[in-house]
Structure 1
Amino acid sequence: MKIYFLFLIAFPLSLFAQVKDSKELPEPFETKSVSNYSNVIGWKDAETPKAPEGFTVTKYADGFENPRWMYVTPNGDILVAESNSNYSILKQIGATIIGAGGSNNLKHSADVITLLRDTNNDGVPDLRETLLTKKEGLNQPFGMLIIGDWLYVANTDAVLRYPYKNGQTKINEVGEKVADLPAGKVNRHWSRNIIANADNSKIYIAVGSGDNIGEKGMENEVMRANILVMNPDGSDLEVYASGLRNPVGMDWEPITKTLWTSVNERDGLGDNLAPDYLTSVKEGGYYGWPYTYWGSNYDPRVPIPPYVRLRKAIEPDFSLGSHTASLGLVFYTENTFPKKYKNGAFVVQHGSWNRDILSGYRVVFIPFENGKPAGKSQDFLTGFIVDPKKDEVRGRPVGAVVMPDGAMLITDDTTGHIWRVAYTGK
């Protein structure tokens, strides 16, 4: 009752009419919030994910330890960041479960960046080298970026850069720290993605919240739940957009050149709240966390402190469904996929752990026209869920990149696979 009383003091009753406006959202706690982790059983030798007719899915590489994120270098090499939480997700949220994605939930972070090179262009890498390790300064690495003669790596607590020459396969130097990033003891959302603008004059950094809704203290959320921006030398680090609970994937929409991101929303409000989303990112924009979700829908668990002046939150552009854990994001700008995919967005959904019936565990495609979503999301890569009424899944997709030949690579972190999706004809 105290929380609701604070709301009534802080806001006029008329604002509550907005709660069910956007996307006809259900009421908070309309369904019970559950812990429902999947049991990852892996892929048999002949099994692959399923893509639409005309596409071929093959195993590009395997044997990784939690391959999370990828980056394509100027010469076409694929860099793979192998990383994970350094402590159990079970301990993190205080849950007791069975079969929570196998032993992967208990693993430490490998802290490795692996380089893959396909020298004969047959769709399978024939060179595999360890580019960087913990010895060179990796600490839960995620986003990677090359600007000039520098390779940038976003650790969970800092952005490092390494001297790099095109085609290099091993780096022995310890990374130079160019910027500290917020991590600390409360670090539920540990991944840090990075992307540069067109002229490489700015680097954007996606930083998730420390916990779910700031329940462990907003003092732990300084510079978090934001997209940050800085100069390549680390100077002028500041908030570019705020109130984004856990932004992960970032890419530039190819027509308008606008930054877009995929965001994981809050837990604990029920099966169908709150929707993860895909949205354009406005400089100086505020997207609601922790006080509201999907625009001006208030979270009844979060009291509004008297000293907080709440700005009107921007409503996201596109719903990706609740608890889908939408991570990877890439706009398709090559020409080998059918025309309908040109300039559209692919979003990789790692999958739910807190929904009665599993959601996500797939790659979806969102068509775009004139820089905006132009239709419903379409399943593109499926087959990860064995049976929707059971909790068994074959794997959990995470990140995506488009290769110079137009094919797409998808990481599957719990099984250590990277899948290649190519269009081979009708």
Structure 2
Amino acid sequence: MMRFAGPALSAALFVSTASFAQQADEPVLKGAAAFGDWRADKPGTRRLIRPDDLPKPNATRSTSNSAGIADMPADAKLQLPPGFSAELVASGIDNPRVVRVAPNGDLFVADSKANQVRIYRLAEGSAKPAQDGIFAGNLNRPYGIAFYPPGADPQWVYVANSDSIVRFAYRNGDLKASGDPETIVGNIPASHHWTRDIAFSPDGKTLYLSVGSGSNVAEDMGREPKGGLDAWAKSQPLGAAWGSEDGRADVLAFDPDGKNGRIFAAGLRNCSGMTVQPATGALWCVVNERDALGDNVPPEYATVVKEGAFYGWPWYYIGNNEDPRHKGERPDLAGKTTVPDVLMQAHSAPLTIAFYEGKSFPAEYKGDAFVALHGSWNRGNRTGYKVVRLLFKDGRPTGAYEDFITGFVVSNGEVWGRPVGVAIASDGALIVSEDGNGTIWRVTHGDGPS
């Protein structure tokens, strides 16, 4: 059942962050120091992980170390940089995942396990919903949401189910779908990694779809495709997988009507979140890399997705590093792997990304990106469970990132929050969803909630 924070609870959840001031001369953590774990996390901590910093695979034992989910404390506090505060928008949601902001400012939230998309219309300058409801139900683990055509007056809202893309007729201000969904893309493989994100190119001519792998590292794919590897490599995009992984670990592209499907880029094990960078029009995605190679191998990453590029999975990772489980299988791909732009702590599980183009945060935030890290399960020293800020300069990533929201971890064995969705509200606030306790938050800058 949905429940909202009343005045007393909202006041209790308001966060004072003065104790987390970042020291201007605090060094950027690099190399092994950047790997760390949740105990070193705090707003303002910066990390820079480079491809040359990676240890050898299996330098540490691979560990199953899932966090227990604790109830959200009555005095829950999100830890934020100085000058920022957070208020609860909603709680008690089954499984809030991706959040997208409609042109009129409404928040669309994929409630994935409930098979529905929720909608929230916030009171002006407030975290309090003035209206809320279910925009559409009877879906199949919905995740990605996009408005078409891009711009101020969309005619459709597209929703990515685990096995299809559907769209609903839409006009600004609609609080409920006015008709049945139209299937645009069907028969998407839905097993294992099921989160399907979608985005449109700025000109509206291309619909992008991310489809994660059906396994950790293509254990059941087979060493060669039918007809032989040479013939496959000559007829398929660079790095395309086959068999049970055919059309997976890819970003696919379609016309807006779902036709003309093709592989846009390959070798992205699980691109769980996509967005278009406003400053450049480039497609970005955040990727969950493979497991069972140790605590710090390979890093997760955020990257520009380049058409025709191959990002390594399952044969290579972070450039020309060969996965020992596929040693010698694809020498033809050696040296052809695109190195991602921003490397993050291994097993952090980045799920969504949003660029900041609002005006209510300090000027230095403009052009940077926020990423939600859902948190590790395959790491002896737990990491993730936070929202980080990717640092850009002149529209280009520096490679460094900074902890922005922490405080979701209760102890070494329990967490109360697992960040999933990040979105920028029309008033410049940052909206964050987490699915540990099913909450949505609004983060603002200034002298407290407005």
> TM-score per shorter chain, which class?
0.7 to 0.9
How far is the alpha carbon of 1:174 from its aligned partner? 2.8
Bigger drift between 122-131 and 65-74 goes to: 122-131
Report the counterpart of residue 154 of structure 1 in structure 2.
160
Report the counterpart of residue 346 of structure 2 in structure 1.
322
Report the counterpart of residue 331 of structure 1 in structure 2.
355
- Between the aligned partners of 1:177 and 1:62, the Cα distance in structure 2 is 31
Decide which of 214, 220, 224 is 1:216's aligned counterpart: 220
Report the counterpart of residue 93 of structure 1 in structure 2.
none
C-alpha distance 306-204 of structure 1, shift in aligned 2 (>3 A): closer
Write the mapping of 1:10-409 to structure 2, written as runs, cut at 5 A.
22-83=51-112, 109-134=113-138, 138-147=139-148, 148-171=154-177, 173-184=179-190, 187-217=191-221, 218-303=242-327, 305=329, 312-374=336-398, 376-387=400-411, 390-409=412-431
Amino acid at match of 1:170: K
Write the mapping of 1:414-425 to structure 2, written as runs, cut at 5 A.
414-425=436-447
8 A Cα contact 1:48 1:59, kept in partner: no
8 A Cα contact 2:370 2:387, kept in partner: yes
Post-superposition Cα deviations, 1:339-389, rounded to whole Å, max 9, x if no partner, equal: 1111001111000001111100101112101222226211100001123xx
How far is the alpha carbon of 1:308 from its aligned partner? 6.7
Consecutive unaligned residues of structure 1, counting only runs of 5 or more, are 1-20, 84-108
- Between the aligned partners of 2:308 and 2:330, the Cα distance in structure 1 is 23
- Between the aligned partners of 1:146 and 1:310, the Cα distance in structure 2 is 39
- Between the aligned partners of 1:378 and 1:303, the Cα distance in structure 2 is 35
Bigger drift between 306-315 and 359-368 goes to: 306-315
Amino acid at match of 1:49: L
Consecutive unaligned residues of structure 2, counting only runs of 5 or more, are 1-49, 149-153, 222-241
8 A Cα contact 2:349 2:374, kept in partner: yes
C-alpha distance 405-22 of structure 1, shift in aligned 2 (>3 A): same
Amino acid at match of 2:156: W
Report the counterpart of residue 105 of structure 1 in structure 2.
none
Q: Helix, strand or coil for the counterpart of 1:340?
A: helix
Report the counterpart of residue 99 of structure 1 in structure 2.
none
- Between the aligned partners of 2:391 and 2:250, the Cα distance in structure 1 is 26
How far is the alpha carbon of 1:310 from its aligned partner? 5.8
- Between the aligned partners of 1:306 and 1:380, the Cα distance in structure 2 is 40
- Between the aligned partners of 2:395 and 2:187, the Cα distance in structure 1 is 31
8 A Cα contact 1:254 1:371, kept in partner: no
RMSD over equivalenced CA pairs, Å = 1.9
- Between the aligned partners of 1:307 and 1:345, the Cα distance in structure 2 is 35
> Under a length normalisation based on structure 1, what TM-score does the superposition of the two structures give?
0.84
- Between the aligned partners of 2:77 and 2:130, the Cα distance in structure 1 is 21
Post-superposition Cα deviations, 1:218-240, rounded to whole Å, max 9, x if no partner, equal: 41111111111111101111111
8 A Cα contact 1:114 1:129, kept in partner: yes
- Between the aligned partners of 1:271 and 1:81, the Cα distance in structure 2 is 31
Post-superposition Cα deviations, 1:324-349, rounded to whole Å, max 9, x if no partner, equal: 00111011011110111110011110
Report the counterpart of residue 31 of structure 2 in structure 1.
none
- Between the aligned partners of 2:333 and 2:271, the Cα distance in structure 1 is 23
Amino acid at match of 1:140: R
C-alpha distance 181-293 of structure 1, shift in aligned 2 (>3 A): farther
**How many correspondences in the alignment?**
375
Bigger drift between 48-57 and 174-183 goes to: 174-183
> Under a length normalisation based on structure 2, what TM-score does the superposition of the two structures give?
0.80
- Between the aligned partners of 1:375 and 1:172, the Cα distance in structure 2 is 44
8 A Cα contact 1:182 1:224, kept in partner: no
Post-superposition Cα deviations, 1:43-98, rounded to whole Å, max 9, x if no partner, equal: 22221311111001111111210101111111111111111xxxxxxxxxxxxxxx
How far is the alpha carbon of 1:305 from its aligned partner? 4.5
How far is the alpha carbon of 1:309 from its aligned partner? 5.7
Report the counterpart of residue 17 of structure 1 in structure 2.
none
How far is the alpha carbon of 1:311 from its aligned partner? 6.5
- Between the aligned partners of 2:181 and 2:342, the Cα distance in structure 1 is 38
C-alpha distance 347-182 of structure 1, shift in aligned 2 (>3 A): same
- Between the aligned partners of 2:355 and 2:330, the Cα distance in structure 1 is 42
Percent of aligned positions that are identical: 40
- Between the aligned partners of 1:42 and 1:381, the Cα distance in structure 2 is 19
Bigger drift between 121-130 and 273-282 goes to: 121-130
